[in-house]
Amino acid sequence: MKLLVKAPAKINLSLDVLHKRQDGYHEVEMIMTTIDLADRLELTLLEQDEIKIISHNRFVPDDQRNLAYQAALLLKERFHVKSGVEIAIEKTIPVAAGLAGGSSDAAAVLRGLNKLWKLGLSVDQLAEIGAEIGSDVSFCVYGGTALATGRGEVITKLPAAPTCWVVLAKPFIGVSTADVYRRLNINGIHHPKTKEMIRAIEQGDYEGVCGHVGNVLEEVTFSLHPEVAQIKEQMKRFGADAVLMSGSGPTVFGLVHHDSRMQRIYNGLRGFCDQVFAVRMLGERHMLD
């Protein structure tokens, strides 16, 4: 039996760090939303007791380091599943980009195997299991628009963010999330106004959302890779309504309302960046399955 599952990328409309915790993680407040840029996974049940990853992307591991593999293993061990699964990943989301591609693949495997293996788990249970794989996996299980707190795994649903174009530009560099958090100077943070961002989303106020984007990890990644800050400046100059780095980077996204301006920004950046996309904001949870 086979099942096709979609794994959409996320962007952080805002990302704040409150403090460093005893366990080494950082306490965060993030507003996250899914976008229409997705990996596709084909899950095929195997009689033999094996988890097999097929990926043709050279940056994606095809063994136990793959987050999709870890998701399958976790469910298999916890629920004593004796058969196996082949997971073929068609990668579209850039890797190590701040877009949670690996986390979303893991979440898609949790959702898909819950069906194929008839485990009967609720979405909340899948999100809880997802948190054992990585901080972003719980959000990816739900999708939509949400406030993520704790180390990112405590999810509070929000209404869909006002829809618009999202232009994404990723330079040809990879960023280590752990390294970016480690280098953050907690005392020098200029905190984004998370509450006002939530209010803007609740009121469907596009200008309000644009006015309150903020990411405290930007300055760390900008200092390591000044070209990321340059991309942000270029996107502003081309006329995006709001521009921000997503997660720990290096992807920079611009929010744009008008089709013609989206096209101008997209064309303008294609010459400078490794990967450029123009996609819609999804925002709603029900888009996932």
Ligand X SMILES: Nc1ncnc2c1ncn2[C@@H]1O[C@H](COP(=O)(O)OP(=O)(O)O)[C@@H](O)[C@H]1O
What is the rounded CA–CA span in Å between residue 155 and residue 274?
A: 32
What is the rounded CA–CA span in Å between residue 165 and residue 171?
A: 20
Is 10 a residue of the active site?
A: yes
The verdict on 8 binding ligand SUD (CB under 6 A) reads no
Determine phi and psi for 81, rounding to 5 degrees. Answer: -80, 130
User: Which of 94, 130, 143, 247 contacts ligand SUD by CB under 6 A?
Assistant: 247
Task: List % helix, strand, coil for the chain (3-state, nearest 5).
Answer: 35, 30, 35
122 annotated binding-site participant: no
Q: Name beta bridge partners: 85.
A: 45, 51
192 annotated binding-site participant: no
User: Which of 14, 114, 194, 248 contacts ligand SUD by CB under 6 A?
Assistant: 248
102 annotated binding-site participant: yes
What is the rounded CA–CA span in Å between residue 237 and residue 169?
A: 14
**Segment interacting with ligand SUD (CB under 6 A) among 106-114, 173-181, 206-214, 272-280:** 173-181
Distances (CA, A) of 86 to 4, 59, 79, 101, 102: 12, 19, 18, 19, 17
Instruction: Give the distance between the most distant pair of CA atoms in the chain.
Output: 56
State the binding partner of 12 from ligand SUD, ligand X, none, CB within 5 to 8 A by kind.
Answer: ligand SUD
Choice among 16, 136, 170, 241 that is catalytic:
136
Shortest Å distance, C-beta 252 to ligand X: 13
Shortest Å distance, C-beta 74 to ligand X: 14
Residues 92-111 as x/- pattern, contact with ligand SUD by CB under 6 A: ------x-x--x--------
Residue 209 near residue 200 (C-beta atoms within 8 A) = yes
Is 241 a residue of the active site?
A: no
The residue ranges that bind ligand SUD (CB under 6 A) are 12, 15, 25-26, 28, 30, 98, 100, 103, 134-136, 151-152, 177-178, 181, 247-248
List the binding residues for ATP. Answer: 94-104
Catalytic residues: 10, 136
